[in-house]
Amino acid sequence: MNVKKIMIMPLMILLLVFTSACGMFSSSSKETAQSQEKKGNSDVIKIGVIVAETGPASTLGKTEANTIKMIQKQLDETGPINGKKIELVMRDYETDDTKAVIAMDKLISDGIVAIIGATQASTTNAILPKAEKANLPLLTLAPINTDIENVYNIPPSSATVASKMIDYLVENKISKVAWVNAKDAFGVDGLPHFEPLAKEKNIEIVAHEEFDATASDMTIQLTNVREKNPEAVIVWSRTPGAGIVARNFKALGFEVPMIQSHASANQGFLDQVKSNSENIFVVAGKLNVVTQLEDSEYKSLVEEYVNPYEKEYNEPTDFFGAHSYDAVQLVIKAVEEGNFTSSDINNYLQNELKEYQGISGKFDLTKPIEGPQADGVTVLSIEDGTWKYTE
Amino acid sequence: MKKLDVLLYGSRKKPIAALLGMVLVMPFIISSPYIFTILILIGIYSIITIGLSLLVGYAGQISLGHAAFFAIGAYISGVLTVKYSFSPWLAILIGMIITFISAFLIAIPVMKLKGSYLALATMAINIIIYILLLGLSDYTGGASGLGGIPPLSIFGLSLESQVLFYYFVWFIVSLVIVFSSNIVRSHIGRILRSIHDSEVATETLGANVSKYKVAIFALSAVFASLAGSLYAHFISFIAPPTFYINFSILLLIMVMVGGVHSIWGAMIGTAVMMALNELIRFVGHNYLNISGEIEIVVYGAIIVIVMIFMPKGLIHPISKLRFKKLTHTPKNETSKQKLFSEKGV
């Protein structure tokens, strides 16, 4: 084989790949046209899911993705609902907004009737205009603020989580707090909700520090915080940043409690803090401590999700997985009641179902943007590397 | 016709006509919004990679920070239209002017650097802009991003429709190709190539090397700014992570894979990398049950293959095939290569 042939070969392979890609894309576009025509009449109901299974936000997105895969398996086992096979078409956007927008277009082309996602609030905002244009119900996995219709906040709003923190502070007679947050879309969302609630209860914010979400040391921020002598330090960040702050907090010898947001309520955070968990509290979903809850209807509901998940993946789930579980269950419920199109699903959720007890909390679907109430949320401490129910 | 010949240098007519023909026909073949989003993004990214090709391929100056200028364009368009209700067209123009001025000022010290120092300096520019985007949250929306950026409309016709926006973007790409290939064919292009080969030799010929280096850096930044504005008005939401260094690196990979010495190569590289990215995701997800950043592994493999077997990029064998077709007498390899170089494609 001469050199020319060797050089041409990879090119030919690439061209072949490119052509086959175009072929696949066009065939999918033809399918799209057909599926869109049949949307509602088809035997398959497609629900789109956009999650960050990989990339920096995968600390939250991984359990969401695992939950979706588990539900799909369960759906395949139980067979069609109301004569319809439910297909959860999941796309990993790799923590990249542009990829999420591309994925959204692909899902719309595939003829989905509802969209669940995305893992991050900023990404949810990026896909929002497309959901609105396609008139799709959007069930969010990160709380967002919008006046666009048909958006269902599945996670508790930042205000709901902040109110739980305030309750804890009031109960423990703490009136001076320091606020530390990551400088990313999630991190900057907490303080605007916490501040007015704190003011109402006469809780003063004596320090406010921010850190880069990818930073590996927050000692400087915590040192600045210590100078102000707060009675508690509140951290609003997702892992791994949240865990690093907790480790630095311990290393600097703080004696006041640290209260972390719900984005730290996962196994990754427990692994990071390990034995340095004294005085660290996390606002979490009650599912984290399901075995410690009293018997109730709510406990059975949570067990329906948690037990099969732990069996399937041999690891605990978290609040974020619960959001994707609630979101899918809401759409499945609509399909069970004979609603197969986007507008019928919207109509059913808001005008017929109205109320729904999810794992994330109790939903008032007539006000879908408000998200669930605080009943699914609690403040947990950490003991021997596991969550401890304190209420 | 003669004017068109002068504008397009004769030999450029056919590829541009072929490109426009393909662009025109595409909406009659496909209807999927997904494909159109990919094609629009290929168009938008091509505008940047063509500018990068002028800078890296012709002038021999590396940049690992072009996402910063992409960001400036996107954010000026976004902020002016969302917060100050400017006309999107005026915002795009202001974005390009501000980018030109800032890139020009940045380039004066930065273009004195060479090799890895230049690469690091441009990377630093990218990081500075990224931090500014996060920090100036009153204007940029900070980490939460900036939403509600209005779509473009032209003569009262909204470009919200994907097909119309697709046509518009590719019309702009065609203009950028014509403009860039004319630069390449002009005496400026020859000086740029001369700078690429030897700065000292070019200086001794009396050319003000730094002036040309600064100018081409600012011009390529303007292209990136234009692309950024188009991106902002197309996606309607922008957030800082889109404009981080990894995007700058991806742009450079696109140019290198396509052919760093060719503006057509830059475009082909962009299209191939985008298509490949989607193909990897499609195959990975549907057949191999893997998802995530597997494409990074494939990117790496492709770069190695291209660098070993086609150091001049994908465009090189394609051009050779085209040249064979045009002349039918491919006897003298040296003269062929000479002509290829003079054409500056």
Work out whether the CA dihedral A275, A281, A284, A290 comes out positive or negative: positive
Contact status of B37 with chain A (Cβ, < 8 Å): yes
CA–CA gap between residue B11 and residue B327 (Å, rounded): 13
Do the beta carbons of residue B237 and residue B147 sit within 8 Å?
Answer: yes
A311 pLDDT more than 50: yes
H or E segment to which residue A46 belongs: strand A44-51
Q: Measured in whole angstroms, how far is the alpha carbon of residue A312 from the centre of its chain?
A: 20
State which amino acid sits at residue A189. Answer: D
Q: Looking at the partner chain, which of A11, A109, A187 has a beta carbon nearest the beta carbon of B143?
A: A187
CA–CA gap between residue A52 and residue A56 (Å, rounded): 8
Do the beta carbons of residue A35 and residue B38 sit within 8 Å?
Answer: no
Whose structure tokens read 């809850």? A293
Span B229-287, pLDDT tens digits:
999 999 999 999 899 998 999 999 899 889 888 889 999 999 999 988 888 877 777 77
pLDDT at B326: 53
Residues B309, A25: C-beta atoms closer than 8 Å: no
Where would I find the H helices in chain A? Answer: 3-38, 58-78, 97-109, 121-133, 158-171, 191-200, 219-226, 241-251, 267-273, 297-313, 319-336, 342-347
User: Within 13 Å and on the Cβ side, how many CA atoms surround A112?
Assistant: 27
Best residue in A3, A25, A135 for a mutation probing chain B (most B CBs within 10 Å):
A25
Q: List the one residue out of A122, A62, A95, A59 whose CA is nearest residue A264.
A: A59
CA–CA gap between residue A147 and residue A150 (Å, rounded): 9
pLDDT at B290: 66
**Residue-wise DSSP of A309-347:** HHHHHSS---HHHHHHHHHHHHHHHHHHTT--SHHHHHH
Query: How sure is the predictor about B325, in pLDDT bands with cuts at 50, 70 and 90?
Result: low
CA–CA gap between residue A214 and residue B245 (Å, rounded): 14
Q: List the one residue out of B236, B297, B129, B292 whose CA is nearest residue A57.
A: B292
Residues B34, A126: C-beta atoms closer than 8 Å: no
Residues A187, B134: C-beta atoms closer than 8 Å: no
Cα distances (Å, whole numbers) of residue A14 to A11, A382, B54, B268, B301: 5, 53, 25, 12, 12
Residues A8, B282: C-beta atoms closer than 8 Å: no
Contact status of B137 with chain A (Cβ, < 8 Å): yes
B336 pLDDT more than 50: no
Residues A109, B33: C-beta atoms closer than 8 Å: yes
User: Within 13 Å and on the Cβ side, how many CA atoms surround B276?
Assistant: 26
State which amino acid sits at residue A260. Answer: Q
Chain B contacts of A65, Cβ < 8 Å?
291
pLDDT at B11: 61
CA angle A131/A136/A140 to nearest 5° reads 70
Architecture of the domain spanning A158-285+378-389: 3-Layer(aba) Sandwich (3.40)
Best residue in B34, B70, B282 for a mutation probing chain A (most A CBs within 10 Å):
B34
Query: How sure is the predictor about A116, in pLDDT bands with cuts at 50, 70 and 90?
Result: very high
pLDDT at A19: 45
Which two tokens mark A117?
A: 């996602």
B144 pLDDT more than 90: no
Span B195-218, pLDDT tens digits:
888 888 888 888 888 899 999 999
Query: How sure is the predictor about A240, in pLDDT bands with cuts at 50, 70 and 90?
Result: confident
| ipTM of the complex, rounded to two decimals | 0.80
Give chain A's radius of gyration (CA, Å). 23
Which two tokens mark A390?
A: 């304190």
Identify the burial level of A339 via C-beta atoms within 10 angstroms of its C-beta, where 0-12 means exposed, 13-18 middle and 19 or more buried.
Answer: buried
CA–CA gap between residue A367 and residue A375 (Å, rounded): 17
pLDDT at B9: 56
B311 pLDDT more than 90: no
Candidate ranges A5-9, A288-292, B17-21, B169-173; pick with highest mean pLDDT: B169-173
Chain B contacts of A184, Cβ < 8 Å?
143
CA–CA gap between residue B196 and residue B212 (Å, rounded): 11
Query: Would the CATH topology of A44-157+295-373 be identical to that of A158-285+378-389?
Result: yes
Q: Phi/psi class of residue B330: alpha, beta or left (left: φ > 0; alpha: ψ in -120 to 50)? A: beta
State which amino acid sits at residue B25. Answer: V
Q: List the one residue out of A316, A94, A56, A90 whose CA is nearest residue A186.
A: A56
pLDDT at A41: 64
The highest-level CATH class for domain A44-157+295-373 is alpha beta
Q: List the one residue out of A328, A346, A349 whose CA is nearest residue A73.
A: A328
On average, the pLDDT of chain B sits at 86
CA–CA gap between residue B43 and residue B37 (Å, rounded): 10
Query: How sure is the predictor about A36, in pLDDT bands with cuts at 50, 70 and 90?
Result: very low
Q: List the one residue out of B14, B57, B26, B37 whose CA is nearest residue B252.
A: B57
Q: Can you give the residue ranges of every domain in chain B?
A: 10-243
The residue among A114 and A186 whose pLDDT is bigger is A114
Long-range (24+ apart) CB contacts under 8 A made by A29-36 are A29/A109, A29/B30, A29/B31, A29/B32, A29/B34, A29/B35, A31/A110, A32/A109, A32/A110, A32/A111, A32/B31, A32/B32, A32/B34, A33/B31, A35/A110, A35/A111, A36/A111
Q: Report the range of poorest mean pLDDT among A212-221, A367-376, B7-16, B137-146.
A: B7-16
A230 pLDDT more than 60: yes
A367 pLDDT more than 80: yes
Best residue in B30, B285, B290, B336 for a mutation probing chain A (most A CBs within 10 Å):
B30
How large is the average pLDDT for residues B81-103?
96
In terms of CA atoms, which chain B residue is nearest residue A111? Answer: B32
In terms of CA atoms, which chain A residue is nearest residue B321? Answer: A8
Chain A contacts of B31, Cβ < 8 Å?
29, 32-33
Chain A contacts of B285, Cβ < 8 Å?
91-92
Give the total residue count for chain B: 345
Which two tokens mark A173?
A: 């007679």
Cα distances (Å, whole numbers) of residue A16 to A19, A34, B23, B82, B261: 5, 27, 21, 44, 24
How large is the average pLDDT for residues A9-14?
47
Residues B38, A102: C-beta atoms closer than 8 Å: yes
Query: How sure is the predictor about B340, in pLDDT bands with cuts at 50, 70 and 90?
Result: very low
Do the beta carbons of residue A14 and residue A298 sit within 8 Å?
Answer: no
pLDDT at A55: 83
Q: Looking at the partner chain, which of A95, A105, A128 has a beta carbon nearest the beta carbon of B33?
A: A105
Span B148-170, pLDDT tens digits:
899 999 888 888 888 999 999 99
Residues B276, A125: C-beta atoms closer than 8 Å: no
Chain A contacts of B144, Cβ < 8 Å?
121-122, 125, 185, 188-189
Residues B314, A102: C-beta atoms closer than 8 Å: no
Interhelix angle for B263-286 vs B315-327, to 10°?
120
pLDDT at A268: 86
Q: Can you give the residue ranges of every domain in chain A?
A: 44-157+295-373, 158-285+378-389
Residues A126, B235: C-beta atoms closer than 8 Å: yes
Which two tokens mark B305?
A: 């293959």
A385 pLDDT more than 90: no
Work out whether the CA dihedral A149, A150, A151, A154 comes out positive or negative: positive
Work out whether the CA dihedral B145, B146, B147, B150 comes out positive or negative: negative
How large is the average pLDDT for residues A143-165?
91
Q: List the one residue out of B161, B148, B174 whose CA is nearest residue B36.
A: B161
Q: List the one residue out of B325, B331, B334, B239 whose CA is nearest residue B11.
A: B325
Residues A126, B239: C-beta atoms closer than 8 Å: yes
CA–CA gap between residue A32 and residue A34 (Å, rounded): 5
Span A331-362, pLDDT tens digits:
999 999 999 999 999 999 999 998 999 999 99
pLDDT at A28: 41
DSSP, res A40:
T
